[in-house]
Amino acid sequence: MTNTSDVQARAFAAPPNEGGAQQAPFSFNPRAALYRAGSVLAPGLTGRIATRMFSRSRTGRPRGDYPVPLGARRFDIDDADVQAGYLWPAEGPTVFLIHGWSADSASMLGFVRPLLKEGFQVATFDAPGHGASRGPTTTMSRFVQAGVQAVRALGNVQFLVGHSLGAIAAAAVAARVREEQGVRIRAIGMVAAPTSLSNVLEIWASAEGQQLPRGTRDLIYAHLHRDNGVPVSHWDIPALSRGAQIPTVVLHDQADPVVPFSCAEHLRAQLGAVLERTAGYGHSRILASAEAKAVIVDFLMTHNAPSQPEEKVETDV
Protein backbone atom coordinates (compact mmCIF):
# COMPACT_ATOMS: atom_id res chain seq x y z
CA MET A 1 0.00 0.00 0.00
CA THR A 2 1.31 3.43 -0.90
CA ASN A 3 2.10 5.64 2.10
CA THR A 4 0.43 8.91 1.16
CA SER A 5 0.25 10.82 4.43
CA ASP A 6 3.41 12.86 3.87
CA VAL A 7 2.55 13.68 0.27
CA GLN A 8 -1.00 14.67 1.12
CA ALA A 9 0.12 16.67 4.12
CA ARG A 10 2.36 18.74 1.84
CA ALA A 11 -0.48 19.20 -0.61
CA PHE A 12 -3.05 20.23 2.00
CA ALA A 13 -0.80 21.58 4.74
CA ALA A 14 -2.58 23.61 7.42
CA PRO A 15 -2.18 27.39 7.32
CA PRO A 16 0.54 28.94 9.48
CA ASN A 17 -0.32 29.67 13.12
CA GLU A 18 -3.29 27.27 13.08
CA GLY A 19 -4.45 26.55 16.58
CA GLY A 20 -2.85 29.67 17.98
CA ALA A 21 0.79 28.63 17.54
CA GLN A 22 3.10 31.63 17.38
CA GLN A 23 5.48 31.91 14.47
CA ALA A 24 9.05 32.77 15.41
CA PRO A 25 9.98 36.38 14.56
CA PHE A 26 12.56 37.00 11.84
CA SER A 27 12.29 33.38 10.64
CA PHE A 28 13.62 32.83 7.13
CA ASN A 29 11.96 30.39 4.77
CA PRO A 30 14.01 29.75 1.60
CA ARG A 31 11.11 28.42 -0.49
CA ALA A 32 8.82 31.29 0.43
CA ALA A 33 11.65 33.73 -0.31
CA LEU A 34 12.21 32.15 -3.73
CA TYR A 35 8.51 32.40 -4.56
CA ARG A 36 8.47 36.06 -3.51
CA ALA A 37 11.56 36.85 -5.59
CA GLY A 38 10.26 34.84 -8.55
CA SER A 39 6.90 36.60 -8.47
CA VAL A 40 8.76 39.87 -9.09
CA LEU A 41 11.61 38.81 -11.38
CA ALA A 42 9.88 36.09 -13.44
CA PRO A 43 6.19 35.97 -12.53
CA GLY A 44 5.11 33.83 -15.49
CA LEU A 45 7.74 31.15 -14.89
CA THR A 46 7.05 31.16 -11.14
CA GLY A 47 3.34 30.71 -11.77
CA ARG A 48 3.98 27.74 -14.08
CA ILE A 49 6.34 26.10 -11.59
CA ALA A 50 3.89 26.57 -8.72
CA THR A 51 1.05 25.16 -10.83
CA ARG A 52 3.06 22.06 -11.66
CA MET A 53 3.97 21.58 -8.01
CA PHE A 54 0.31 21.84 -7.01
CA SER A 55 -0.79 19.46 -9.78
CA ARG A 56 1.86 16.81 -9.12
CA SER A 57 0.16 13.59 -8.17
CA ARG A 58 3.18 11.41 -7.48
CA THR A 59 6.75 11.94 -6.32
CA GLY A 60 8.42 9.32 -8.52
CA ARG A 61 7.89 7.22 -11.61
CA PRO A 62 5.05 4.68 -11.71
CA ARG A 63 6.17 1.32 -10.38
CA GLY A 64 5.91 -1.67 -12.66
CA ASP A 65 4.90 -4.09 -9.94
CA TYR A 66 1.28 -3.26 -9.19
CA PRO A 67 -0.41 -6.64 -8.74
CA VAL A 68 -4.12 -7.19 -9.11
CA PRO A 69 -5.55 -6.96 -5.56
CA LEU A 70 -6.46 -10.24 -3.89
CA GLY A 71 -9.84 -11.56 -5.04
CA ALA A 72 -10.27 -8.95 -7.79
CA ARG A 73 -10.20 -9.13 -11.55
CA ARG A 74 -9.36 -6.35 -13.96
CA PHE A 75 -11.98 -4.51 -15.97
CA ASP A 76 -11.22 -2.26 -18.91
CA ILE A 77 -11.79 1.49 -18.80
CA ASP A 78 -11.95 3.50 -22.01
CA ASP A 79 -9.25 5.94 -20.99
CA ALA A 80 -5.75 6.02 -22.48
CA ASP A 81 -4.13 7.03 -19.18
CA VAL A 82 -5.79 4.42 -16.96
CA GLN A 83 -4.18 0.99 -16.79
CA ALA A 84 -7.33 -0.79 -15.63
CA GLY A 85 -9.92 -0.98 -12.94
CA TYR A 86 -10.33 -3.68 -10.30
CA LEU A 87 -13.59 -5.49 -9.68
CA TRP A 88 -14.73 -7.83 -6.91
CA PRO A 89 -17.83 -9.47 -8.45
CA ALA A 90 -21.01 -10.05 -6.46
CA GLU A 91 -24.75 -10.16 -7.08
CA GLY A 92 -25.58 -6.81 -5.48
CA PRO A 93 -25.26 -3.23 -6.74
CA THR A 94 -21.79 -1.83 -7.33
CA VAL A 95 -19.93 0.47 -4.96
CA PHE A 96 -17.20 2.44 -6.76
CA LEU A 97 -14.32 3.54 -4.50
CA ILE A 98 -12.39 6.71 -5.47
CA HIS A 99 -9.01 7.33 -3.86
CA GLY A 100 -7.53 10.74 -3.03
CA TRP A 101 -4.81 12.82 -4.65
CA SER A 102 -1.32 11.27 -4.46
CA ALA A 103 -2.88 8.00 -3.30
CA ASP A 104 -4.00 4.95 -5.29
CA SER A 105 -6.55 2.14 -5.23
CA ALA A 106 -4.67 0.36 -2.44
CA SER A 107 -5.68 3.10 0.00
CA MET A 108 -9.35 2.10 -0.38
CA LEU A 109 -9.00 -1.68 -0.05
CA GLY A 110 -10.09 -1.72 3.59
CA PHE A 111 -13.69 -1.17 2.48
CA VAL A 112 -13.75 -4.14 0.09
CA ARG A 113 -14.27 -7.09 2.45
CA PRO A 114 -17.00 -5.53 4.63
CA LEU A 115 -18.89 -4.39 1.53
CA LEU A 116 -18.62 -7.83 -0.10
CA LYS A 117 -19.85 -9.39 3.14
CA GLU A 118 -23.07 -7.38 2.80
CA GLY A 119 -23.58 -8.46 -0.81
CA PHE A 120 -22.28 -5.39 -2.65
CA GLN A 121 -20.15 -5.66 -5.75
CA VAL A 122 -17.05 -3.46 -5.32
CA ALA A 123 -14.82 -1.71 -7.83
CA THR A 124 -11.99 0.81 -7.78
CA PHE A 125 -9.24 2.14 -10.05
CA ASP A 126 -5.99 4.06 -10.20
CA ALA A 127 -6.85 7.51 -11.56
CA PRO A 128 -4.63 9.14 -14.21
CA GLY A 129 -1.28 10.09 -12.70
CA HIS A 130 -1.78 7.70 -9.78
CA GLY A 131 -0.79 4.15 -8.93
CA ALA A 132 -0.41 1.93 -11.97
CA SER A 133 -1.82 4.55 -14.33
CA ARG A 134 0.24 6.83 -16.52
CA GLY A 135 1.64 10.28 -15.85
CA PRO A 136 3.35 12.26 -13.07
CA THR A 137 0.58 14.86 -12.96
CA THR A 138 -3.08 15.10 -13.81
CA THR A 139 -6.02 17.48 -13.56
CA MET A 140 -9.37 17.26 -11.84
CA SER A 141 -11.03 17.11 -15.25
CA ARG A 142 -8.93 14.10 -16.26
CA PHE A 143 -9.48 12.47 -12.86
CA VAL A 144 -13.24 12.89 -13.09
CA GLN A 145 -13.48 11.85 -16.75
CA ALA A 146 -11.70 8.60 -15.94
CA GLY A 147 -14.17 8.02 -13.11
CA VAL A 148 -17.10 8.62 -15.46
CA GLN A 149 -15.65 6.12 -17.93
CA ALA A 150 -15.23 3.57 -15.14
CA VAL A 151 -18.89 3.95 -14.15
CA ARG A 152 -19.87 3.53 -17.80
CA ALA A 153 -17.78 0.35 -18.09
CA LEU A 154 -19.20 -1.18 -14.92
CA GLY A 155 -22.82 -0.46 -15.77
CA ASN A 156 -24.31 -1.09 -12.31
CA VAL A 157 -22.76 1.58 -10.10
CA GLN A 158 -25.24 2.84 -7.53
CA PHE A 159 -22.94 4.01 -4.72
CA LEU A 160 -19.76 6.09 -4.56
CA VAL A 161 -17.19 6.42 -1.78
CA GLY A 162 -14.47 9.06 -2.08
CA HIS A 163 -11.53 10.00 0.13
CA SER A 164 -10.13 13.55 0.31
CA LEU A 165 -10.03 15.02 -3.22
CA GLY A 166 -11.67 11.77 -4.31
CA ALA A 167 -14.80 13.06 -2.58
CA ILE A 168 -14.84 16.08 -4.90
CA ALA A 169 -14.39 13.65 -7.78
CA ALA A 170 -17.29 11.54 -6.46
CA ALA A 171 -19.63 14.56 -6.43
CA ALA A 172 -18.54 15.46 -9.96
CA VAL A 173 -18.89 11.89 -11.24
CA ALA A 174 -22.39 11.63 -9.74
CA ALA A 175 -23.42 14.84 -11.51
CA ARG A 176 -21.89 13.79 -14.83
CA VAL A 177 -23.31 10.26 -14.99
CA ARG A 178 -26.78 11.54 -14.16
CA GLU A 179 -26.57 14.16 -16.89
CA GLU A 180 -24.87 12.03 -19.56
CA GLN A 181 -25.97 8.46 -18.79
CA GLY A 182 -29.19 8.88 -16.84
CA VAL A 183 -27.60 7.05 -13.91
CA ARG A 184 -28.78 8.15 -10.49
CA ILE A 185 -26.35 7.43 -7.67
CA ARG A 186 -28.26 6.27 -4.59
CA ALA A 187 -25.81 7.44 -1.92
CA ILE A 188 -22.29 8.81 -1.47
CA GLY A 189 -19.76 8.35 1.32
CA MET A 190 -17.23 11.16 1.73
CA VAL A 191 -14.19 10.58 3.94
CA ALA A 192 -11.90 13.46 5.00
CA ALA A 193 -13.38 15.63 2.26
CA PRO A 194 -12.45 19.25 1.53
CA THR A 195 -15.32 21.47 0.47
CA SER A 196 -13.75 22.58 -2.80
CA LEU A 197 -10.58 22.69 -4.86
CA SER A 198 -10.37 26.43 -4.21
CA ASN A 199 -10.23 25.68 -0.49
CA VAL A 200 -7.47 23.12 -1.09
CA LEU A 201 -5.45 25.53 -3.21
CA GLU A 202 -5.64 28.35 -0.67
CA ILE A 203 -4.58 26.05 2.18
CA TRP A 204 -1.68 24.71 0.11
CA ALA A 205 -0.59 28.18 -1.02
CA SER A 206 -0.74 29.56 2.53
CA ALA A 207 1.29 26.76 4.07
CA GLU A 208 4.21 27.93 6.18
CA GLY A 209 6.68 26.30 3.81
CA GLN A 210 5.45 28.32 0.82
CA GLN A 211 3.35 31.40 1.56
CA LEU A 212 2.75 32.11 -2.12
CA PRO A 213 2.23 35.76 -3.08
CA ARG A 214 -1.25 36.68 -4.29
CA GLY A 215 -0.04 37.24 -7.84
CA THR A 216 1.42 33.73 -8.05
CA ARG A 217 -1.81 32.26 -6.69
CA ASP A 218 -3.80 34.12 -9.33
CA LEU A 219 -1.56 32.63 -12.02
CA ILE A 220 -2.18 29.13 -10.61
CA TYR A 221 -5.92 29.73 -10.84
CA ALA A 222 -5.49 30.88 -14.46
CA HIS A 223 -3.31 27.89 -15.44
CA LEU A 224 -5.67 25.41 -13.79
CA HIS A 225 -8.62 27.01 -15.57
CA ARG A 226 -6.82 26.56 -18.87
CA ASP A 227 -5.75 22.97 -18.12
CA ASN A 228 -9.16 21.84 -16.82
CA GLY A 229 -11.40 23.76 -19.19
CA VAL A 230 -13.39 25.06 -16.22
CA PRO A 231 -12.48 27.48 -13.41
CA VAL A 232 -11.17 26.13 -10.12
CA SER A 233 -14.42 27.24 -8.50
CA HIS A 234 -16.23 24.57 -10.56
CA TRP A 235 -14.83 21.86 -8.29
CA ASP A 236 -17.04 22.67 -5.33
CA ILE A 237 -18.95 19.83 -3.66
CA PRO A 238 -22.08 21.80 -2.68
CA ALA A 239 -22.28 23.36 -6.16
CA LEU A 240 -21.73 20.04 -7.93
CA SER A 241 -24.37 18.41 -5.72
CA ARG A 242 -26.98 21.14 -6.10
CA GLY A 243 -30.38 19.73 -7.01
CA ALA A 244 -29.22 16.10 -6.98
CA GLN A 245 -30.51 15.33 -3.46
CA ILE A 246 -28.21 12.33 -3.07
CA PRO A 247 -28.06 10.99 0.50
CA THR A 248 -24.52 11.63 1.75
CA VAL A 249 -22.53 10.71 4.82
CA VAL A 250 -19.49 12.82 5.70
CA LEU A 251 -16.88 11.08 7.85
CA HIS A 252 -14.05 13.20 9.25
CA ASP A 253 -11.47 12.99 12.01
CA GLN A 254 -11.67 15.85 14.48
CA ALA A 255 -7.89 16.26 14.49
CA ASP A 256 -7.33 15.90 10.73
CA PRO A 257 -4.11 17.91 10.16
CA VAL A 258 -4.63 18.04 6.40
CA VAL A 259 -8.28 18.97 5.79
CA PRO A 260 -9.81 20.95 8.70
CA PHE A 261 -12.87 19.49 10.46
CA SER A 262 -14.69 22.72 9.61
CA CYS A 263 -14.93 21.41 6.03
CA ALA A 264 -17.06 18.52 7.27
CA GLU A 265 -19.32 20.89 9.19
CA HIS A 266 -19.72 23.04 6.09
CA LEU A 267 -20.65 20.00 3.98
CA ARG A 268 -23.21 18.89 6.57
CA ALA A 269 -24.84 22.31 6.46
CA GLN A 270 -24.78 22.68 2.69
CA LEU A 271 -25.73 19.13 1.71
CA GLY A 272 -27.95 18.17 4.62
CA ALA A 273 -25.47 15.32 5.04
CA VAL A 274 -25.05 12.98 7.96
CA LEU A 275 -21.84 13.91 9.79
CA GLU A 276 -19.87 11.22 11.60
CA ARG A 277 -16.63 12.00 13.42
CA THR A 278 -13.64 10.03 14.63
CA ALA A 279 -10.74 10.95 16.87
CA GLY A 280 -7.08 10.06 16.60
CA TYR A 281 -6.85 8.76 13.03
CA GLY A 282 -5.96 11.89 11.10
CA HIS A 283 -6.35 12.21 7.35
CA SER A 284 -5.16 8.90 5.90
CA ARG A 285 -5.27 6.33 8.71
CA ILE A 286 -9.01 6.92 9.03
CA LEU A 287 -9.47 4.72 5.95
CA ALA A 288 -8.18 1.67 7.82
CA SER A 289 -10.23 2.27 10.97
CA ALA A 290 -13.06 0.00 12.04
CA GLU A 291 -15.21 3.10 12.58
CA ALA A 292 -14.86 4.22 8.97
CA LYS A 293 -15.76 0.82 7.60
CA ALA A 294 -18.80 0.53 9.86
CA VAL A 295 -20.08 4.04 9.09
CA ILE A 296 -19.74 3.68 5.32
CA VAL A 297 -21.13 0.15 5.07
CA ASP A 298 -24.08 0.88 7.38
CA PHE A 299 -24.96 4.05 5.50
CA LEU A 300 -24.89 2.34 2.10
CA MET A 301 -26.95 -0.56 3.41
CA THR A 302 -29.56 1.90 4.68
CA HIS A 303 -29.94 3.24 1.16
CA ASN A 304 -29.81 -0.12 -0.61
CA ALA A 305 -33.56 -0.69 -0.48
CA PRO A 306 -35.08 -1.45 -3.90
CA SER A 307 -35.88 1.72 -5.79
CA GLN A 308 -39.54 2.60 -5.90
CA PRO A 309 -41.00 3.36 -9.33
CA GLU A 310 -41.89 6.99 -9.83
CA GLU A 311 -45.62 7.66 -9.64
CA LYS A 312 -47.21 8.78 -12.86
CA VAL A 313 -49.27 11.89 -12.44
CA GLU A 314 -52.35 11.92 -14.63
CA THR A 315 -53.36 15.26 -16.05
CA ASP A 316 -56.42 16.32 -17.96
CA VAL A 317 -55.77 16.99 -21.61
190 assigned to some structural domain: yes
Q: What is the CATH number of the domain that holds 209?
A: 3.40.50.1820
Tally of domains in the chain: 1
19 assigned to some structural domain: no
The pTM of this model reads: 0.85
Closest CA to 34 of 203, 218, 211: 211
Number of other residues whose CB lies within 10 A of the CB of residue 216: 20
76 assigned to some structural domain: yes
Type of residue numbered 64: G
Our CA angle for 5, 112, 306, nearest 5°, is 125
Q: What is the pLDDT along the chain (317 residues), one digit of tens a residue?
A: 333 333 343 344 333 333 344 444 445 567 677 777 777 677 789 889 889 889 888 876 666 667 888 999 999 999 988 988 999 999 999 999 999 999 999 999 999 999 999 999 999 999 999 988 888 889 999 999 999 999 999 999 999 999 999 999 999 999 999 998 888 999 999 999 999 999 999 998 988 677 889 999 999 999 999 999 999 999 999 999 998 899 999 999 999 999 999 999 999 999 999 999 999 999 999 999 999 999 999 999 999 976 544 333 333 32
Contacts for 306 with CB less than 8 Å, ≥ 6 apart: none
Task: Give me the pLDDT at residue 306, please.
Answer: 63
Task: Give me the pLDDT at residue 305, please.
Answer: 73
Task: Give me the pLDDT at residue 33, please.
Answer: 73
1 assigned to some structural domain: no
Closest CA to 227 of 160, 137, 103, 317: 137
314 assigned to some structural domain: no
Closest CA to 306 of 47, 118, 93: 93
Task: Give me the pLDDT at residue 9, please.
Answer: 39
40 assigned to some structural domain: no
94-98, strands of its sheet edge to edge: 73-75, 85-88, 121-125, 94-98, 157-163, 187-191, 248-253, 274-278
- Is 181 in contact with 158 (CB distance < 8 Å)? no
106 assigned to some structural domain: yes
311 assigned to some structural domain: no
* Helix 43-55 vs helix 214-228: crossing angle, to nearest 10: 60
Q: Supply the range of the domain harboring residue 149.
A: 55-302
Task: Give me the pLDDT at residue 64, please.
Answer: 61
For the chain, state the CA radius of gyration: 20
